[in-house]
Structure 1
Amino acid sequence: MMSGTIEIVAALIRDPAGRVLLVRKRGTTAFMQPGGKRDSGEDDVTALAREIDEELGCRLVPDSIQRLGEFDAVSANEPGFRVRASLYEIDVTGHIAPQAEIEAMVWVDPAAPADLPLAPLTRDHVLPLASQRRAAGAV
């Protein structure tokens, strides 16, 4: 079995009610953070800005970017792989709508994400972190 680690950047985006935006790529079942792999030579912020534009058709607000850390989980869509995500909380501007490979998007309460199929990274790291930060009044 092949194995390896896929390096990605991922975005934690909230609405005014504190809900977290999740997306699902075409042909997959798991909801996850917007984001993706860096292109050659890209830093995290450049990659994140490109992915947000490609996936959601909106722009990130440069002075809103907060690095939340690096998280490791089993890949949702690539069997035998793990993902290592550099996670950033960001604000976006412009109309948010699924673009490119994104088939669906949903806003969820990070403390109670309903019974959606979630990517391991989102389920085990991002949503617990988002609900802790909200409880601590960090929104």
Structure 2
Amino acid sequence: MVSGTIEIVAALIRDGAGRVLLVRKRGTTAFMQPGGKRDPGEDDIAALAREIDEELGCRLVHGSIQPLGEFDAISAHEPGWMVRASLYEIDVTGDIAPRAEIDETIWIDPSSPPDVALAPLTRDHVLPLASRQTGAVRAVPQQ
């Protein structure tokens, strides 16, 4: 039985080779997109910029933002809940490193993911979408 829906924003970040960045939160096993819940009064972009800074220590490149749609999936970490993610493909600038509640980051080929636990949103929506796209969006090195 589904208890409700958690509204989140999520980022699709690629490197120069087209690999997709995934994160694993502390105390969990599933890898997922960076992002999270909006704070009161935040729009999607403000929430995404805040989450990227808090989780990865880098900055969103505002001219790079491409909305990809809203996607529903079973929550990876809240049993009985769904997530509804507003997904954006973005560039980031600065060094990417796990911070705050993030324990681990990995870069994966979206069309050939490694044998790791993936959040349902990532597995069922984001990686199939990313593997169909040939976007030029990637992490931008620190200037």
Q: CA deviation at 1:2?
A: 6.3
Which secondary structure does the structure 1 equivalent of 2:76 belong to?
coil
Determine the structure 2 residue equivalent to 1:60: 60
Q: Measure the CA separation in 1 of the matches of 2:2 and 2:62.
A: 37
Determine the structure 2 residue equivalent to 1:127: 127
Which secondary structure does the structure 2 equivalent of 1:96 belong to?
coil
Q: Measure the CA separation in 1 of the matches of 2:128 and 2:101.
A: 26
User: Taking structure 1 as the reference length, what is the TM-score of the superposition?
Assistant: 0.96
Q: CA deviation at 1:13?
A: 0.1
Which secondary structure does the structure 1 equivalent of 2:28 belong to?
coil
Determine the structure 2 residue equivalent to 1:98: 98
Q: Measure the CA separation in 1 of the matches of 2:91 and 2:15.
A: 9
Percentage of matched positions with identical amino acids: 79
Could you list the structure 1 runs, at least 4 aligned residues long, displaced by more than 2 angstroms after superposition. none
Determine the structure 1 residue equivalent to 2:6: 6
Q: CA deviation at 1:93?
A: 0.2
Q: Measure the CA separation in 2 of the matches of 1:63 and 1:113.
A: 29
What 5-or-longer segments of structure 2 have no aligned partner? 137-143
Q: How many residues align?
A: 136
What 5-or-longer segments of structure 1 have no aligned partner? none
Q: CA deviation at 1:36?
A: 0.0
Q: Measure the CA separation in 2 of the matches of 1:70 and 1:97.
A: 27
User: Taking structure 2 as the reference length, what is the TM-score of the superposition?
Assistant: 0.93
Which secondary structure does the structure 2 equivalent of 1:125 belong to?
helix
Q: CA deviation at 1:59?
A: 0.2
Determine the structure 2 residue equivalent to 1:112: 112
Q: CA deviation at 1:130?
A: 0.3
Q: CA deviation at 1:9?
A: 0.0
